[in-house]
Amino acid sequence: MRDKELEYRQRNIDRIDRTIAALVAERVRVTYEIADFLAVADAAYQGAPGAFSEDAARELVGASATLLPCASLAQVFDAVATGRARSAVVPVENSIAGDVPGCADLIAGHDVRVAGECVRLIRHALVGSAGATVESIRTVRSHPIALAQCLNFLRERPWMAPVDAFDTAGAVAEVVAAGRPDLGAIASCRAAELYVAVIIANDVQDRADNRTRFLLVRPGDDVHMTIEERDT
């Protein structure tokens, strides 16, 4: 009788041990989930992966940095303000299209400072889904600043209607997802490769020396520096 009672209690201990082990494993899993949720990106940028701003961010904060893509420049600055990103990389001006609308106002309206900059050569390509050709495309999607850099190409092809998108790389993703030969996007060759799009025409920007200036922006720490102050 005592042997059966001892065996019963031993089985209970084994069951409790298995429960404890399962709870510990669950606690570890949830801990990692919390760490992922609370992780702070090294830099935020506007656009989808494959955007020119992502390339600039890699140059300014490092190839292995963790990056946070955002749908708008306002969201980029909000990410820095709320601590979800340690910095932001934003385009401020282009040699063809001029100043990026709203960027200077966002810098002035947040407690941030300019901590670095880079100027990148911007080469645009016309891309589409499989089967798309220059003749078949009727709508070209891209960021409005990118479209402004390719006006000559579009004017020479009046059957192509430019349509604003939130980002160059995001436009490629949308075009590939649609899978229609009448839709195209203007973006980088890297974005075309990333989203498995077809490159229909290379170097569609108005000038070969098309360049964009990007700024690295960090929390202010009571140091305020405007674009004009940095340029003087």
Q: What is the pLDDT of residue 133?
A: 96
Burial track 65-103 (b if 16+ CB lie within 10 A, e otherwise)? eebbbbeebeebbbbbeeebbbbbbbbbbbbbbeebeeb
**Low-confidence spans in the chain with pLDDT less than 50:** 21, 24-25, 28, 31-32, 35-36, 222-232
Task: For the beta carbon of residue 32, count every other beta carbon within 10 angstroms.
Answer: 10
| Active site (annotated) includes residue 19 | no
Q: State what percent of residues in the chain have pLDDT above 70.
A: 84
| Active site (annotated) includes residue 214 | yes
Q: What is the pLDDT of residue 23?
A: 58
Residue from 168, 212, 226, 232 carrying the catalytic annotation: 212
For residue 202, the cross-strand partners are: 125
Q: What is the pLDDT of residue 227?
A: 41
Residues 81/110, Cβ–Cβ less than 8 Å: yes
Residue 89 CA: distances (Å) to CA of 85, 116, 209, 213 = 11, 9, 22, 10
Q: What is the pLDDT of residue 228?
A: 41
Q: What is the pLDDT of residue 6?
A: 72
Residue from 31, 139, 214, 232 carrying the catalytic annotation: 214
Residues 57/67, Cβ–Cβ less than 8 Å: yes
